[in-house]
Amino acid sequence: MVHGRPCGLLVSALAVLGLVSGCGSGHGSGAASASGAGGTSTAPGTSASAPGPSPSTPPPATTTTVTATAPERGASAAAPAGARCHTSELRASVGRNDPGAGQENFPVVLTNASTRTCTVYGHPGAAFLDASGRQLGADPERSTATRPLRVTLAPGRSAWAGLSFSNPEVSGARAATPVTLLVTPPDEHDPLRVRWTGGPVPVSGNASTVRLTAFEAGTGP
């Protein structure tokens, strides 16, 4: 009986040591979790409640790889396909005169010179310039002869607007011969320059109004 007691005491002592060791392990886990919640970055997909690494072991480094996808060759990052045509994407020209009943009628043509499909809608802006760059006459007025339609231009396709005025020799208006026609696409601020070869235009006096129709598909009537 006397020899059994030291064994019991030994077992009890070992049990106590086991309890103390268990409490120390739990405390270490809690300290690691608090460190993670206090500002250490957590990798995406991990739970905030998951136990953190042991304080004595440095956390593994996390590497994030970002892959940049280059735009498709020829695509415009600023303007998606089908958006408004910008001045930098267009080429302007003036077609052949189609006179009639004392009127001069020229098609002002915009051609999509870009690699994307874009649209034009409404009337262009225009102005005649002399050799020194000064404007001749007033700004052309918008004609209501045609209803504005949205014209879709695939690469290489064109839209035209009619530029009309009374022949100065018939109307008696004061005339001048421009060197340049400025053409501004709808909703744009930057104009395109076209060499004017259409002869004299009215700049003041009787029947000196110049008119522009809205854009239609094609290069002329």
44-100 per-position pLDDT tens digit: 444 444 444 444 444 444 333 332 223 333 333 455 667 999 999 999 999 999 999
123 within domain boundaries: yes
Residue 65 belongs to a domain? no
CATH number of the domain within which 92 lies: 2.60.40
Residue 71 inside a domain? The answer is no
- Residue 203 clears pLDDT 90, i.e. is over it: yes
pLDDT 10s digits, 108-136 = 999 999 999 999 999 999 999 999 999 99
User: Residue 145: what pLDDT?
Assistant: 86
- Residue 132: inside a domain: yes
- For residue 179, is pLDDT > 70? yes
Residue 131 resides in a domain: yes
Helix (H) or strand (E) holding 135: strand 135-136
At 74 the pLDDT is 34
Amino acid residing at 3: H
Domain annotation covers residue 28:
no
Q: How far is CA 220 from the centre of its chain?
A: 30
Alpha-carbon gap, residue 184 to 30, rounded angstroms: 70
Q: Is residue 13 part of a domain?
A: no
pLDDT tens for 9-47 read 433 443 433 433 443 433 333 333 333 333 433 344 444
Q: Give the chain's domain count.
A: 1
What is the domain range of residue 137?
A: 87-217
In the structure encoding, which two tokens stand for residue 126, read together? 């225009």
Answer yes or no: is 180 within a domain.
yes
pLDDT of the residue at 41: 39
Measuring CA to CA, how many Å separate 155 from each of 80, 123, 150, 172, 189? 14, 21, 16, 43, 22
